[in-house]
Structure 1
């Protein structure tokens, strides 16, 4: 147990998995930004992996249900046009999803992206569980995500874990999961990536409003 706690604390210091201090959106803003993907219901597990060591740095879950959200437990992602309530990001349009991936992928980390098509009922269970999770403590990103997945019908075989890569390995064994890697080679500073993508989203939003 001590080894697990040490590993988790180390992960917090180098990744996007830290105590969240993001401003909390009100319900009106969440409703205004709500987005429902026109495709099938899906669950997408993101695992941010250190390119040098292969260790997991952060875990999050995109849920395509009655609206598309990202459960980003103890995450660092911020964007002016993306409302946040506890650790759920709302308004996940294709542009926001790209910005999310791009912000985390950099010289030192890449994003392992694993997607599976699910029933609307399964997606809705995950969505409701994510909203009920409340703010997640630092280093509990994989733990909280695995707990949600374990409660979704059809995903009961997922074991609760503190380790992002171990969760990704379990998720990848489920029939129907499609796995890709997303890589960028820009500055290692996560904050620079967040700022650049926030500016890009703001510019796109301004263009649409004109």
Structure 2
């Protein structure tokens, strides 16, 4: 088990599941950025996968209900217009969601995106669980996401796992899941993608406030 955890930590360090310290947004900032998608309530599992080896690198969960957030445990995503508290990203507008997936998809990794429609009650349970999780330690992104999911009614069959692809496969077995892949062939460095998409979001913000 010790060797396994060391391997996870090493993999996480180079892939974006490294458990770095994030700024803690205050409630007024979170409230000002809150976004509710007009569509049905959904849960969307993101699995970042190495294009060469097929191994999973990071797991996160977008929850769309009374508001839309991304539970990004031990993640690396940062953007000036996205408040973060305890590994929950707030204000996930369509532009922010595109920036999120674009930041992770690059020459070395692609994003597998799996979405399932849920009831508003299921989404609210997931939302509250995400807010209560607290900062997640490095290499525990999939473990914490699988623990969250198995507490949502209708998802009890999800088993706790450390492996992103294993969780993705479990999620795929749920009835009604829609799966897509998102790929880009830009720089393999995650930080380059984060910086580019942060700048793009800032530009969009400037245009929208003019």
Shorter-chain TM-score category?
over 0.9
Q: 1:20, 1:135 within 8 Å by CA — same for their partners in 2?
A: no
Alignment of 1:28-43 (within 5 A): 28-43=28-43
- After TM superposition, give the deviation of residue 114 of structure 1 in Å: 0.3
Residue 150 of structure 2 aligns with which residue? Answer: 150
Count of equivalent residues: 210
SS across alignment from 1:126: helix
Question: Which digits, 9 at most, give the CA deviation of each residue in 1:22-78, with x for residues without a partner?
Answer: 211000000000000000000000000000000000000000011000000000000
Residue 129 of structure 1 aligns with which residue? Answer: 129
Runs of 4+, deviation exceeding 2 Å: 1-4
Pairwise CA RMSD of aligned residues? 0.8
Residue 99 of structure 2 aligns with which residue? Answer: 99
Question: Which digits, 9 at most, give the CA deviation of each residue in 1:138-168, with x for residues without a partner?
Answer: 0000000000000000000000000101000
Residue 120 of structure 1 aligns with which residue? Answer: 120
Q: 1:50, 1:56 within 8 Å by CA — same for their partners in 2?
A: yes
TM-score (norm 1): 0.98
Q: Which runs of 5+ in 1 are unaligned?
A: none
TM-score (norm 2): 0.98
Alignment of 1:54-73 (within 5 A): 54-73=54-73
Residue 75 of structure 1 aligns with which residue? Answer: 75
Asked if 1:2 is matched to 2:13, the reply is no
Tell me, in whole angstroms, the C-alpha distance in 1 between the residues paired with 2:165 and 2:157: 16
Residues 82, 41 of structure 1: CA spacing in aligned structure 2 closer, same or farther, 3 A cutoff?
same
- After TM superposition, give the deviation of residue 3 of structure 1 in Å: 4.7
Tell me, in whole angstroms, the C-alpha distance in 2 between the residues paired with 1:123 and 1:107: 33
Alignment of 1:157-196 (within 5 A): 157-196=157-196
Tell me, in whole angstroms, the C-alpha distance in 1 between the residues paired with 2:166 and 2:156: 16
Alignment of 1:44-59 (within 5 A): 44-59=44-59
Question: Which digits, 9 at most, give the CA deviation of each residue in 1:118-153, with x for residues without a partner?
Answer: 000000000000000000000000000000000000
